[in-house]
Amino acid sequence: ELKVEQNPLFLSMQEGKNYTIYCNYSTTSDRLYWYRQDPGKSLESLFVLLSNGAVKQEGRLMASLDTKARLSTLHITAAVHDLSATYFCAVSSMDSNYQLIWGAGTKLIIKP
Amino acid sequence: SAVISQKPSRDICQRGTSLTIQCQVDSQVTMMFWYRQQPGQSLTLIATANQGSEATYESGFVIDKFPISRPNLTFSTLTVSNMSPEDSSIYLCSVEQGFPYEQYFGPGTRLTVT
């Protein structure tokens, strides 16, 4: 059974700092997704990672995938208040019939 | 990316009644999904709805409680039947487009059952 663990579940940080959110999954994966959700809003797709060593960057966010370690990271560089949100990773594979299996989410609060 | 709309955006319903949620996509898609999200929680997949076939329900969800229609490639409905307060949640539809297989989400329907 495919399982996805995110950590930390809650992160409070100061503006200007760097930090990383981790997403571990239990079996081989074909696709790894990162989403952002603002309070009371729907989910916004950030990145889709498809292969080992994939790295994608958008602004202050960078996501990477290590399929051998079954680990993806979402790195935040020089955080700003506007990045405060809940971040979810999700994984799909043949084991899950390509349905998305979701992590619990990381609530990120960035203080000015 | 696909643009998805949902109706209603929110509703307050009485126990024992039913509510039908509509999901409209601006392009033709094969796979549509219905999720439930409790406040502060992650997402739980209710069912996958492919056009031309019966919806596939996840464990813990049954067709009698959550009937789904998928009449064409741009539209789907989810009905929450015989509602109880435990059904209070946000219901989200999503679609998957081709490579690189991104899933896009509608704005959600916030349901409160009293």
Give the architecture (CATH level 2) of A4-111: Sandwich (2.60)
A95: confidence class by pLDDT, cuts 50, 70, 90 = confident
Q: What is the pLDDT of residue A53?
A: 84
Compute chain A's Rg from CA coordinates: 13
Residue A34 in contact with partner chain B when CB distance is under 8 A: no
User: Hey, where are the domains in chain B?
Assistant: 14-99
Q: What is the pLDDT of residue B5?
A: 97
Neighbours of B59 (CB within 10 A): 6
Q: What is the pLDDT of residue A11?
A: 94
Cβ(B94)–Cβ(B32) under 8 Å?
A: yes
Strands B75-80 and A85-92: unpaired
Q: What is the pLDDT of residue A96?
A: 76
Strands A10-14 and A106-111: parallel
Cα B89 to Cα B76: distance, rounded to the nearest angstrom: 19
Cα A61 to Cα A74: distance, rounded to the nearest angstrom: 7
Rounded to a whole number, what is the distance in Å from the CA of B56 to chain A's nearest CA?
11
Interface of B with A (CB under 8 A): 1, 33, 41-43, 45, 48, 92, 94, 100-108
- pLDDT beneath 70: ranges in chain B: none
Residues of A in contact with B94 (CB under 8 A): 43
Cβ(A18)–Cβ(A78) under 8 Å?
A: yes
Q: What is the pLDDT of residue A61?
A: 98
Q: Taking CB atoms and an 8 Å limit, are A48 and B102 in contact across chains?
A: yes
Cβ(B32)–Cβ(B55) under 8 Å?
A: no
Amino acid identity for residue A103 in this structure: G
Q: Taking CB atoms and an 8 Å limit, are A102 and B42 in contact across chains?
A: yes
Cβ(A32)–Cβ(A48) under 8 Å?
A: yes
Nearest to B103 among A45, A103, A105 (CB): A45
User: Hey, where are the domains in chain A?
Assistant: 4-111
Is the domain defined by B14-99 classed in CATH 2.60.40.10? yes
Cα B4 to Cα A61: distance, rounded to the nearest angstrom: 25
Cα B28 to Cα B98: distance, rounded to the nearest angstrom: 11
Q: What is the pLDDT of residue B4?
A: 96
For residue range A29-83, list pLDDT tens digits in order: 778 999 999 998 999 999 999 888 889 999 999 999 999 999 999 999 999 999 9
